[in-house]
Structure 1
Amino acid sequence: MKLSSLIEQVKLNCNISDANYWGYYSICGLLMRLRELYRNEHQMMPWERIEHSSITAWIEKRESLWSSLEGEGLKNLIIDSKEFNPLDAQAVQETIASEQLVYAAGYSTFGKPSFFLARLERKEEFKGFSVYYTFNELCRDLSSHPAMLINRSIYIRREPLLIKLWNRFLELRGRRFGGALFEAFSGYGIQRDTELSRVQETLLRVLDDITVILLYHEVAEALETDDNDGWLELLSQCSDLKTELYLRAVKDIISDTSSYGPLRYLIEEKNERLLDFYIILSERIHRAVSPAIVEAYQKFKNQRDWGQVDRTRREVYLDFSRIYNKITGIWTDTRDVEKVKACLVKETSFK
């Protein structure tokens, strides 16, 4: 198998996907993703400085490429004279596994096809799932979720996760009062004024520890899913990004608070350092939809009562399972997105 040919083919599908979906992102969101993609294509660490003139020229070329690819369909992959549907990740993975490579393909927000090809760091079996840990991503699209679940395979992408960690550290440096950010990083000896070379070295150790949070989330997402086809259909019919993000947040909160999920694991292990990172790595929309988890965390930092955190976890799980069942029931009965949105308004902070 010729690696350069495979990279070229996968990257073409990444560019086709980006060309057809870049307009769904906000300006700020697109620029952030372009910077991350630039780093990936130039093999740069998150803390390496990007020359303004270089990325400006690169963005201009990328926009020109997108214009030429807009409206194109995804291309089949040719590996060792065999043809593969680019979305058949399992078949492709079986073919390239001996090369210590990882290929993943799925759908991101907006129904955007998402792909990446990376070198395998290690593989393990966990609770009936094949778990692939990657670091050196050879190519990817604008989407960069640190973890992906595809059938019975879980992909932990350390490169995007390291970017997220570094961005959280930059937030810490820019704040007068640390809060959860201070708690999380100080647990590893990192302060606002810590020498950057030491921060960079320590973040790689933090990265090793926090992947378990993503792992348990993906396992719970798989085990808590019943009518996945109906749920995916609902997401695909959302007419606006906000509705889709709120729906995804409901599902994510169920996974996090499930008996299979990361919060229960952290509580059972009484792992305060990872609880700190669970809070700071959670998405803003999750905290808005379910402030009870953050409130329980804040109480815990004063009282050190793990039982209280677990009670909140159980309550949130039951409440959001009820909301999820109500939403899916409305969708099954009516196929009406507006009625689903009305339910979100009533049951969550959605407005």
Structure 2
Amino acid sequence: MTRPAAALREAVQINCHIADARHAQDLSLCTFLLQMREFHRWERGLPLNAPLVRSEIGAWIARREALWADLEAREFAALPLGDGRAPGEPFGVEAVNALLAPQGLVYGAGWESARRPAFFLAELIELRPIAAEGLVVQVCGREWARGLFAPPAALAGDTVVLRRESMARWLWEKFEVFGLKRADGPFKAVARAYDLESDFLAGLPRMLDEQAETLILHEIGEHRAGRRLGPAWGEIRLALDDRRSELLLRAVRDQIADLGTTLPALIERGDAVSLHFWFAGYDGLRKQLFPGLAEAYRAWCEGDGAAALQQACAAGACHFEDLAAQVLELHLVHGSAASRPIAALLASPQAVCGP
């Protein structure tokens, strides 16, 4: 495993801190605390299941918030690439990776949401083409620098970035939350399939391998949705002036990706565990926009042979593609003044896919 030069690692980590300083407040308190606990484990090199001392976490958060206060106004740092080369631009991902890939390293600098950058520096495990989609899957291993926002998978242009270490930590967070009540539901089915309650770490490698494919399917769906929606969709996200509307717009695209690609593929494969896994994350605004999908999942669990799920996917895909078309039409008609009517549409009852 290639260890990155200290100067490069430090520069990327500084950029991670600057991004966190500007955007950590976007999170709810519960999400913030969960992510900070896991970030603390990563920074200290602790095992996923290492017990944490509340007083230590509290002191660490206080120090981190003081660091953020010092860094918030700073510009993102250029990246020292060594050998007398000119420093790399913080968002010059292609140019930086052209130099790092032969060293077995990968750099990421994208936008986790319309306004929130996410940087990382990691081991490059594999580049895997998906020829039929014109995509490449970039599989990342050990992370040498990262921020609080560490999405396990993301679409960056024509590259699906899969961050296995971040995915492992994300799965551990889900298991910790599940462990508070051990409630019946989709995650309990996932825990049973991988025997997580007996030994989470023993079941983790197989879960990573299998459910990484579910995440990749979603990103393929995102890529297909992006081609249909066009560049105007990104312009709309940037123009929206309230966080909830931005999240609703993101949820609409997620619905198009999953109802059109992810779920139909899992149903066709008969992949029961991955269907449970997908529904374990079906919550929040996505569930509010399409509550009937959870009912179809229950019918599948009760043995209907996925008939209700197939029907729900077809109906939901049509509904959300039509809703997206309405959003794009409002953008076309109202231009820079479209934010308010789009927000009103997304918050209206007609945005919800009903029976």
Change (3 A) 1:53 1:175: closer
- Listed as ranges, the matches of 1:29-178 within 5 Å are 29-80=31-82, 81-109=85-113, 111-127=115-131, 128-175=134-181, 177-178=183-184
TM-score, reference length from structure 1: 0.91
Shift of 1:41: 1.4
**What is the one-letter code of the residue matched to 2:48?**
P
SS in 2 for 1:139: strand
Superposed CA RMSD: 2.1
Q: Are the aligned partners of 1:144 and 1:160 in contact in 2 as well (CA < 8 Å)?
A: yes
- Listed as ranges, the matches of 1:193-342 within 5 Å are 194-195=197-198, 198-226=199-227, 227-258=229-260, 261-334=261-334, 335=336, 336-342=338-344
Inter-partner Cα distance in structure 1 for 2:138 and 2:156: 11
Deviations 1:293-312 (A, max 9, x none): 22111101112413432222
Deviations 1:276-331 (A, max 9, x none): 11110334322222222221111011124134322221111111000011112112
Unaligned runs of 5+ residues in structure 2 are none
Shift of 1:176: 5.8
Inter-partner Cα distance in structure 1 for 2:4 and 2:166: 26
Inter-partner Cα distance in structure 1 for 2:164 and 2:287: 23
Inter-partner Cα distance in structure 2 for 1:110 and 1:208: 29
Change (3 A) 1:177 1:60: closer
Tell me whether 1:15 sits opposite 2:17 in the alignment: yes
Inter-partner Cα distance in structure 1 for 2:75 and 2:283: 32
Q: Are the aligned partners of 1:40 and 1:137 in contact in 2 as well (CA < 8 Å)?
A: no
Shift of 1:2: 5.4
**What is the one-letter code of the residue matched to 1:302?**
E
- Identify the residue that residue 6 of structure 1 maps to in structure 2: 8
Shift of 1:18: 1.5
Unaligned runs of 5+ residues in structure 1 are none
SS in 2 for 1:322: helix
Inter-partner Cα distance in structure 1 for 2:211 and 2:239: 34
Inter-partner Cα distance in structure 2 for 1:189 and 1:23: 36
Inter-partner Cα distance in structure 1 for 2:60 and 2:190: 36
SS in 2 for 1:174: helix
Worse-matched range after superposition: 236-245 or 263-272: 236-245
Inter-partner Cα distance in structure 1 for 2:13 and 2:200: 32
Q: Are the aligned partners of 2:125 and 2:140 in contact in 1 as well (CA < 8 Å)?
A: yes
Change (3 A) 1:282 1:135: farther
Shift of 1:50: 2.1
**What is the one-letter code of the residue matched to 1:111?**
R
Shift of 1:349: 5.0
SS in 1 for 2:347: helix
Q: Are the aligned partners of 1:257 and 1:316 in contact in 2 as well (CA < 8 Å)?
A: yes
**What is the one-letter code of the residue matched to 2:70?**
S
Deviations 1:87-131 (A, max 9, x none): 121111111001111111111235011111111232211132111
Q: Are the aligned partners of 2:299 and 2:306 in contact in 1 as well (CA < 8 Å)?
A: no
Change (3 A) 1:235 1:166: same
Change (3 A) 1:27 1:303: closer
Change (3 A) 1:62 1:148: same
Shift of 1:228: 4.3
Change (3 A) 1:60 1:108: same
Inter-partner Cα distance in structure 1 for 2:108 and 2:159: 9
Shift of 1:189: 3.4
Inter-partner Cα distance in structure 2 for 1:149 and 1:206: 21
Q: Are the aligned partners of 2:114 and 2:234 in contact in 1 as well (CA < 8 Å)?
A: no
User: How many residues get paired?
Assistant: 343
Q: Are the aligned partners of 1:172 and 1:178 in contact in 2 as well (CA < 8 Å)?
A: no
